[in-house]
Every structure is written in C-alpha cells, then in structure tokens.
Amino acid sequence: MQDGDPFPGKFITLEGGDGSGKSTQARMLGDYLTGQSIKNLLTREPGGAPGADEIRELILTGEPDRWDAVAETLLFYASRRNHLRLTVWPALKKGYWVLSDRFADSTMAYQGYGNQLGEDVVRKVHDFAVGDFEPDLTFIFDMPAEEGLRRTDDRLHNEDRFEKMDIAFHERLRDGFLDIAEKNKDRCVVIDATKPIDTIQAELRRVIRERLLA
C-alpha cells in the first residue's frame, strides 16, 4: 500500500483494448454501487487529476510515432503518480470505492506487450512510481482486436493515437491482457466483451458481490 496500511475503500479497475466497452460498464457499475449505498468515485487513466489530464492529451493525440515505448511509459507513470496522489489515494482513505477506467495493467499491455518494451522494463518504472499498491479487483474486457477497432470507427474524438496502430499491435495487446490475467488470477477476472451490455453488467455485479460484498 501507499502508506503501509490498508485503505478502508476498494479500488476496482477496468482494463481492455480499444472499443471493449469499459467506460460504459464503469458508469453502470457506479450506479449499482450507489444503489447499494456505497460511496464511489469514477475516474480514468491517463488523467483523473490536475496535471494528469494535460499529459493525457500529449499521450493520446497525434501520430503513432509521436512517442516511442520508453517515452510513453514515462508519460503514463507521471500521469499515474498524480492520479494516485491527488485522486485515488485520498478517496480510498475516505472509504470511497474507486472505479478506474484503466490503470497500470494497461501500461504493461500497451507498452510492455503491444510496443514490445518488455515486462521487466515496465515493472521497474511501476515499482519506483507506485510501489506495491494494486487494485482489489480488476476486470479485463476481452474481444477480438478487429471487433474492438471496428467499434472505435464510430467515435467522434481526437484521442485516437493508439487506434491508429496496426492490427499486429492490437493483437499483441490482447494477448498481453490475457497473459496479465493468467498471472494475476487472484485479482483479475476476464470478461467476454462481445456479450450484450446488460449481460456483461450482470456478470460484473455478480463478481463484486462474491468477492467484495460477501
């Protein structure tokens, strides 16, 4: 933990490739927790805090070759450090359940696997910037890379730098997320993101009831 003591709140992360539906499910999950009288905070990465939002624009806009994998990783962790320090840790200390649309697993998948920087390099940066703090529960939204990219075609936004990466990148990304889930079975649950929205939400709520509300 950040200060060596468990937080009274819970930290839940939603991970997956582009177009997997994480943002929609995070909002629905927040509504569910509110209905259970659980104070919650919905946030996202990169961003979610002063400074971190400016870094978000740097990372997610422009052409694919704007940054190399090393620069991307450093930018993500600069943003993440502010997000944790100014948003996540204060909320957890107050007993809030924090729902984050992406966290450290995304950096490992995108830069470590997708951009082939390697797990060891990303892990060293993570250990320095974050320490041993990790989510209480992580949902990994899985779907074929082609389907995820097809879904992003309808978006009207300029944060499309990673969507412009070639299909091989997105296939490595998917494999990376699944490998992360396999290596962290105690906190990661793989979700079939091709299922209907309501079916997915029901599965998320079931897992939360069994793992965090039992």
**Would you state the pLDDT for residue 37?**
97
Q: Is it the case that residue 156 has pLDDT exceeding 70?
A: no
Which domains does the chain possess? Answer: 11-211 (3.40.50.300)
The reply to whether the predicted model has a pTM over 0.85 is yes
Yes or no: say if 184 and 144 are a contact pair by the CB < 8 Å rule: no
Q: How far, in Å, CA of 83 to CA of 77, rounded? A: 9
CA torsion sign, 139 to 143 to 145 to 147? Answer: negative
Tokens 């978000």 — which residue? 56
Determine which helix (DSSP H) or strand (DSSP E) holds 99, and give its type and residue range: strand 97-101
Q: And the tokens for 82? A: 């502010």
Cα separation values, 104 from 63, 115, 166, 202, 203, Å: 23, 15, 22, 25, 23
Q: Is it the case that residue 159 has pLDDT exceeding 70?
A: no
> Band of the pLDDT at 155, cuts 50, 70, 90?
low
**Would you state the pLDDT for residue 147?**
87
* pLDDT average, residue stretch 77-87: 98
Q: Is it the case that residue 1 has pLDDT exceeding 70?
A: no
Which of these, 110, 122, 121, lies nearest to 169 by C-alpha position? 110
Q: Is it the case that residue 153 has pLDDT exceeding 80?
A: no
* pLDDT average, residue stretch 96-115: 97
> Band of the pLDDT at 3, cuts 50, 70, 90?
very low
* pLDDT average, residue stretch 177-205: 98
pLDDT in tens, 118-144: 999 999 999 999 999 999 999 999 999
Which of these, 110, 88, 192, 180, lies nearest to 143 by C-alpha position? 192
Rounded to the nearest 10 degrees, what angle do helices 119-129 and 69-83 cross at?
30
Which of these, 113, 135, 112, 133, lies nearest to 122 by C-alpha position? 112
Cα separation values, 47 from 84, 86, 99, 154, Å: 10, 11, 13, 23
pLDDT in tens, 24-66: 999 999 999 999 999 999 999 999 999 999 999 999 888 888 9
Yes or no: say if 160 and 44 are a contact pair by the CB < 8 Å rule: no
Q: Is it the case that residue 158 has pLDDT exceeding 80?
A: no
